[in-house]
Structure 1
Amino acid sequence: MSYKIIDLFAGAGGLTTGFHLNGFESLCAIDSNKKALATYGYNFPHTKVIHQDIRKVNPVELRSWLGLQREELKVLIGGPPCQGFSRNIPAGYRYLNEHRNQLYRTFLEFVQEFRPIYVIIENVPEILSAYKGVVKNEITEQLELLGYKVTSNSLNAANYGVPQTRARAFFLASLDRVLKFPEPTNFGDIRSDYRTKKSCHQMNLLESNIAPIVTVKDAIGDLPLLNAGQKYDDEGYPLASQTAYQDILRNGSTKIVNHIARALSPIQMARVRLLKEGQDARDLPSELAPKKHYSGAYGRLYWDKPARTITRWVFHPGSGRFFHPTQDRTITIREAARLHSYPDNFHFLGTYTEMASQIGESVPPLLAKAIAESILQVHN
């Protein structure tokens, strides 16, 4: 028996993918991004997709249209927009009353109407402390008033088998009993800057059931070599799988898709050719160094470490550590998807920048899978 889910603010379907990996079935998905929803519909053809501003979707009419009784839906999942909470947005431009920062309230209206057994809300970690905790407290209190037992926490995707140090906050709510957050399955050095003093927090992996962190090489080391501007799309695997992680993502796939490398400008190419693995803008000569840049900008990834957070700007080397460890280019769409833990048979649709946004704005599927497993442990 498969359990039904509805995904609000679904995007390309990162949360849904993780739940599907645990046997859940998506009944409906809603998003205002037409191209992201096209990607969702392509990968989940049996799911009803609604391209609409969620504020214009009536929860009562939706429940009637889907033929669901209250408390019949197993899980309502979603990640309301996070721009108003993210530290990537300057503090002077974060406004609690800005309409996108109010959409968690719209999400709660759907909870009230459907009364699903479980509710999962995902967002940036800052939502737990933003505006002196006002948002976190409101979400928790409103869910409790509806009869839910609520817990919240921030998790790092790298601790759950994702080769990326992406932190996300989750609210877990249940009509039945308190849901427990999943125990980490992977452990390792996940500092944002490996040039800083090494963390003294260590764990003897031989004395635990926790596996080492998944690295960039574990994730993408088997993919074909490309130059900037080239692509290897809809073709078979030229190399055998080299790691357990690659085995997981290759499962059910016979071809590589979306392995597309963006062309670089002359100045970007000049910069990347001077950089070695792990180096960044700080290592460039003065005549090529940008005047201002983000931490890790124009940086090459490390083969033996996880990637930093994959953002919607993964195609732009000035926005983060997005250069390939050894090849003179930024990482491809498929490499970004691999680092985000999307299966190889997941196809992205749209322009290069649209596909990059779909990945960077989604939840890593293996992190979502860990959350889904927590529900199954309680429910079963």
Structure 2
Amino acid sequence: MSTINKTKKIKAVDFFCGGGGMSYGMQKSGIQVLAGIDYEEKCKETYEANIKNAKFIKADVFELKVEDLETELNLKRNDDELLLIGCSPCQFWSIINTDKKKSKKSKNLLKEFGKFVKYFNPGYVVVENVPGVLRMKGESGLGAFIKWLKKNNYKVHFDVHNTVEYGVPQNRKRFTLIANRITENELEPIKARRTLTVKDIIGKANGFPEIKAGHIDSSDFNHTVPNISDITLRRLEKVEKDGGNRLSFADDPELQLKCFIGRDSSFKDTFGRLWWDKPSPTITTKFFSVSNGRFVHPEENRALSLREGASLQSFPKSYKFIGTSMGSIARLIGNAVPPEYAKRIGKAIINNHKNAI
């Protein structure tokens, strides 16, 4: 192992950076983020508005050459203070997505990220993805990637973690890999001391004024929520506060949805309210829709607002989301790595580096 310079800051390059959840958390941990790379132009404004002193590079990893990245960011090979992060879009391996043709290209993104790791041989590597990449580790390329890391003297931790254990008020299971060739330690994200609930994060006591469906907030706070039809409002008025679900209106022939007649045990979270005293369910890209999961406010007759979804993802209230529609902003939020989780990964890496011999 090489000589470690403990006075130097760890610097990171965030591949598939999206709206910057991982980069923001890493910065908060004390890691210097050099750049975020993403093919989606739609991420650029949000990334640049929040991730200060980092470059946004619009690039497709299938076409990006390692030498070009090396030159643009002045990177060095075998750099003990370099961290490469790969949180590739995961539609192909997700249990939620059913259209595999659309997402087929995303199945090889981990392999493409691997070529940068093999070339630069950084001190640290982080991969975050859906649990499906582990279930299908042969096909996803994960098995071969872990084998290469171990063969090249990395200590590798990989597992499926629930972010609720790491300071995020949300049940969100994610595959996480942390590889380290600086010490003999297998690094894990640092756990939180207590579990946060919905009540800790949203509601009037936490600065979220009561609003009605259709409310538009033109400020950066973005406490914006879509409108709903009259019949949907009538359904929500029947759903019990604090954790109720669509069974509250199942016996009303006017309000019951035809697709659920005789299927009371199916998709019970549809039109379901969050519980105040529990963490939220996984914040998906459709969290602003009452019919796409348990995304109804615990008391108010509406879906979660954009800012409420972001807060349950552990973004600070000052984080700016820039998009052309509610849907585009919700995608940035729902696809993000929760910043608090990223921070706890970063802290584990920094602690390890400080304690290296």
TM-score normalised by structure 1 residue count: 0.82
CA contact (8 A) 1:216 1:307 kept: yes
Counterpart of 2:196? 214
Q: Distance in 1 between matches of 2:140 and 2:238?
A: 47
CA contact (8 A) 1:165 1:306 kept: yes
Please point out which of 170, 182, 194 is paired with 2:176. Answer: 170
CA contact (8 A) 2:163 2:173 kept: yes
Please point out which of 284, 287, 310 is paired with 1:311. Answer: 284
Does residue 1:289 correspond to 2:297, yes or no? no
Deviations 1:202-233 (A, max 9, x none): xxxxxxxx32x211111012211111111345
Deviations 1:39-91 (A, max 9, x none): 1111124211112222121111111121121133521112112112112134x
CA contact (8 A) 1:179 1:374 kept: no
Q: How much is the aligned-residue C-alpha RMSD, in angstroms?
A: 2.0
Q: Distance in 2 between matches of 1:77 and 1:182?
A: 14
CA contact (8 A) 1:10 1:37 kept: no
CA contact (8 A) 1:121 1:171 kept: yes
Q: Which moved more, 1:35-44 or 1:157-166?
A: 35-44
CA contact (8 A) 1:60 1:113 kept: no
Q: Aligned with 1:260: secondary structure?
A: coil
Q: Which moved more, 1:73-82 or 1:165-174?
A: 73-82
- Structure 2 segments unaligned to the other structure (5+ residues): 1-7, 261-265
Counterpart of 1:62? 69
Does residue 1:369 correspond to 2:346, yes or no? no
Q: Aligned with 1:29: secondary structure?
A: strand
1:1-380 paired onto structure 2 within 5 Å = 2-72=9-79, 74-90=82-98, 94=100, 98-130=104-136, 135-177=141-183, 178-185=185-192, 210-211=193-194, 213-221=195-203, 222=206, 223-234=208-219, 257-277=221-241, 278-286=243-251, 287=253, 288-290=255-257, 291-292=259-260, 294-350=267-323, 351-380=325-354
Q: Structure 1 residue 276: deviation in Å? A: 1.6
Letter of the 2:225 counterpart: A
Q: Structure 1 residue 134: deviation in Å? A: 6.2
Q: Aligned with 1:21: secondary structure?
A: helix
Q: Distance in 1 between matches of 2:47 and 2:240?
A: 37
Counterpart of 2:4? none
Q: Which moved more, 1:314-323 or 1:289-298?
A: 289-298
Deviations 1:122-167 (A, max 9, x none): 0011221126676431221132344422220111111111110011
Q: Aligned with 1:376: secondary structure?
A: helix
Deviations 1:230-257 (A, max 9, x none): 13453xxxxxxxxxxxxxxxxxxxxx61
Deviations 1:21-45 (A, max 9, x none): 1111211111112112221111124
Identity of aligned residues (%): 33
Corresponding residue pairs, total: 331
Q: Distance in 2 between matches of 1:321 and 1:340?
A: 15
Letter of the 1:344 counterpart: K
